Chain A
Amino acid sequence: MKSGVKRTTGYDIIVLVIMVILAILFIFPVYWIVTGSFKDAAAINAASPEWFPKNPTTDNYVRLFAKPAMRWLFNSVFIALMSMALTCMTAAMAGYALAKKRFVGRGLLFTFLVCAMALPKQVVLVPLLKEMSFLGLHDNVWAVILPTVGWPFGVFLMKQFSETIPTEMLEAVRIDGAGEVQTFLTIVLPIVKPGIGALAIFTFITTWNDYFLQLIMLNSSNTLTIALGIAKLQSEMSNDFGLIMAGAALGAIPIIAIFLMFQKYFTQGITMGAVKG
């Protein structure tokens, strides 16, 4: 790969063995959720664990869908999609302005954004809930979407991607008489498209899993998300492990599938979003 031939050393083999063991440990929770969701009550409560369901049953899913599980799933999808769309739109515009425009107050704004990023997001949840009640959005899915869009991570990410737009190109179209909107749509957007992809998938996954924010903002049965639904099952029917596992599978499998499909963009999003200095 790099210079010359690298011999496989004993150390490499030890590393590989450890990595494989760790990989099994990290995959195990997902394996256990999926197999557990198909086990009957006897198998799931057995004193010695049944590694694979001997008598697979879909009974857990039947009981899960007797509850408003589809509604929970729908709410999770809606919140994640809306947050994703709004974050991408606002961040693409703001990131472009921060990267390519020299304007009054740019330094100050940038400092503000950096400081906000370094602050603990969860600390503002108490006043945020009050604010949402004031806006009449208490127990409304928008109370989760709006703060998610406000978080400045996306602006940073899009700023990083917008730095790659050649300034000469922007000047050339300006001389040709293109307006701001036209420049943004025809020059900027095509160049930062990979960034938008990365931000979209990143926002979707983190919003889907932002349990704390959802917990604070949502509480009636038709606004619950799948994460809240699983937690509710766990606290209300703590002995029905099969049902809980089915819920966990319903919450985890779609998002894992999306992650695996788009993991290239996702990785890019994490790396480019790392603010330096």
Chain B
Amino acid sequence: MSKNNMTTRSKVLVMRETRSAYLFLLPSLIFFVGFVIIPMFMCLFTSFFNYTMSDFKFVGIGNYVEMFQDKIFQRAFWNTVLIVVVAVPAVTIFSLWVGSSIYRMHAVTRSFFRCVFYLPVVTGTVAVAVVWKWMFNKYTGLFNHVLSEVGLIDQNISWLGDEKTAIWCIIIILFTTSIGQPIVLYVAALGNVDTSLVEAAEVDGATDMQTFWKIKWPSIMPTTLYVLVITTINSFQCYALIQLLTSGGPNHSTDTIMYYIYYEAFKLNRYGYGNAMGIFLAAVIAIFSALQFKVTKSGSVD
């Protein structure tokens, strides 16, 4: 009897709590549902339509079929994969190294370096791209000037105009604009490592390398996972640098999926096709993230 009374009372409480919770959530949910969830479903829905300025016709998986037969899409896909496969490990390893190096420094020095490596992010892609475009310039650029002064090249290289070099230029710039956040995260994570464990290991005569791999590495694993996932997401979405530096050229050698989506959807007004590629990209990113999650999880158990 009294138990029954209790449950109805707590039910009333839960309902009251739920009502007030949703009132607090409401403003945020309006924006979230309106400008994240609805466009996501629209993206999925319209990907099954031949959707252009004048047309809106159901084509089933037609867009997806076209996508896999589209030579330019295939090129864009492999370029994107190349960027991810090179940039993600490079960013993660480099930022871990920088993070653990500056972590040992004096607080002021540490803060200085943290700011410096964040600078390209804060400066903004557009402003950074302006400088890099000049550095890669065939005639007045810094790289050609330095390399010919040193005598390594006798003919100026058109860095962004050559199919073989252009994508590597993009990867280098992407690298410099991607390491800021991981470094901040690693410095913070290393600061949270249980110092008593580290001290105990040092007393036991463990070397720096041993303390790192046995104690610090496992406890910064969640950070590594997070870094891997955000860097993967960002690299897969590489767009702004391409648009600003090469416009996908020469001969589609720097097209990425994101750039190609933009091109099809906004230049050719093929929204349905663009959205199909968007859904594909989202699925690929989800698979990559899940894989990284699995691999790093099983790695930390050992």
Tell me the A residues contacting B by CB distance below 8 Å.
Answer: 1-3, 12, 15, 19, 22-23, 26-30, 32-33, 45-49, 86, 89-91, 93-94, 96-98, 101-106, 109, 112-113, 116, 118-124, 126-131, 146-147, 149-152, 155, 180, 184, 205, 208-209, 211-212, 215-216, 227-228, 230-231, 234, 241, 244-245, 248-249, 251-252, 255-256, 259-260, 263, 267, 270-271, 274-277
Which listed residue, A30, A146, A255, A270, touches B34 by the CB 8 Å rule? A146
The residue on A at minimum CB distance from B181 is A270
The residue in B25, B115, B118, B134 that gathers the most chain A C-beta atoms within 10 A of its C-beta is B25
The residue on A at minimum CB distance from B280 is A123
With A32-B131, A241-B134 known as contacts, the answer to whether A123 contacts B278 (CB < 8 A) is yes
A126 to B63, CA, bound (A): 15
A28 to B236, CA, bound (A): 27
Which residues of B sit under 8 angstroms from A101, Cβ to Cβ?
17-18, 20-21, 24
Which 6 pairs show the lowest CB-CB distances between chains A and B? A94-B28, A150-B35, A127-B42, A150-B31, A97-B24, A103-B21
- Assess the B40–A119 pair: CB atoms within 8 A: yes
- Assess the B125–A211 pair: CB atoms within 8 A: yes
The residue on B at minimum CB distance from A119 is B282
- Assess the B17–A150 pair: CB atoms within 8 A: no
- Assess the A276–B226 pair: CB atoms within 8 A: yes
With A103-B14, A124-B278, A131-B42 known as contacts, the answer to whether A90 contacts B223 (CB < 8 A) is no
- Assess the B236–A120 pair: CB atoms within 8 A: yes
- Assess the A93–B124 pair: CB atoms within 8 A: no
- Assess the A244–B236 pair: CB atoms within 8 A: no
A184 to B24, CA, bound (A): 10
Q: Is B117 an interface residue (CB 8 A)?
A: yes
Which residues of A sit under 8 angstroms from B226, Cβ to Cβ?
274-276
- Assess the B120–A271 pair: CB atoms within 8 A: no
Extra contacts besides A211-B125, A263-B118 (15): CB < 8 Å? A19-B98, A29-B120, A29-B123, A104-B14, A126-B261, A126-B271, A131-B42, A150-B34, A180-B23, A231-B244, A248-B127, A251-B124, A252-B127, A270-B185, A275-B226
- Assess the A116–B32 pair: CB atoms within 8 A: yes
Which residues of B sit under 8 angstroms from A205, Cβ to Cβ?
122
Which residues of B sit under 8 angstroms from A109, Cβ to Cβ?
25
Q: Is B130 an interface residue (CB 8 A)?
A: yes
The residue on A at minimum CB distance from B124 is A209
The number of chain B residues touching the other chain, given as a range, is 35 or more
Q: B283 to chain A: closest CB distance in Å? A: 10
- Assess the B28–A124 pair: CB atoms within 8 A: no
A112 to B279, CA, bound (A): 17
- Assess the B130–A33 pair: CB atoms within 8 A: yes
Q: Is B266 an interface residue (CB 8 A)?
A: yes
Which residues of B sit under 8 angstroms from A270, Cβ to Cβ?
181, 184-185
Which listed residue, B116, B127, B181, B244, touches A23 by the CB 8 Å rule? B116
- Assess the B202–A102 pair: CB atoms within 8 A: no
Which listed residue, A126, A211, A234, touches B265 by the CB 8 Å rule? A126
Which residues of A sit under 8 angstroms from B233, Cβ to Cβ?
118, 120
With A103-B17, A126-B261, A270-B184 known as contacts, the answer to whether A248 contacts B130 (CB < 8 A) is yes
With A103-B21, A146-B34 known as contacts, the answer to whether A230 contacts B46 (CB < 8 A) is no
Which residues of A sit under 8 angstroms from B125, Cβ to Cβ?
209, 211, 227
With A119-B282, A270-B181 known as contacts, the answer to whether A3 contacts B199 (CB < 8 A) is yes
Q: B167 to chain A: closest CB distance in Å? A: 19
Q: Is B68 an interface residue (CB 8 A)?
A: no
Q: B129 to chain A: closest CB distance in Å? A: 8
Which residues of A sit under 8 angstroms from B115, Cβ to Cβ?
259-260, 263
Can you report 22 A-B residue pairs in the complex whose CB atoms are below 8 A from each other? A30-B123, A33-B127, A93-B25, A94-B24, A94-B29, A97-B25, A101-B18, A101-B24, A103-B17, A118-B233, A120-B233, A120-B282, A123-B43, A126-B261, A131-B38, A149-B35, A184-B24, A208-B124, A209-B124, A248-B131, A259-B115, A276-B222
- Assess the A212–B240 pair: CB atoms within 8 A: yes
- Assess the B20–A94 pair: CB atoms within 8 A: no
Q: Is B285 an interface residue (CB 8 A)?
A: yes
- Assess the A103–B244 pair: CB atoms within 8 A: no
Q: Is B74 an interface residue (CB 8 A)?
A: no
Q: B36 to chain A: closest CB distance in Å? A: 5
- Assess the A26–B281 pair: CB atoms within 8 A: no
A6 to B199, CA, bound (A): 13
1/0 per residue, CB under 8 A from A, across B264-290: the answer is 011000010011001101100110010
Which residues of B sit under 8 angstroms from A124, Cβ to Cβ?
36, 39-40, 43, 278
Which listed residue, B36, B37, B116, B139, touches A27 by the CB 8 Å rule? B116
Which residues of B sit under 8 angstroms from A212, Cβ to Cβ?
239-240
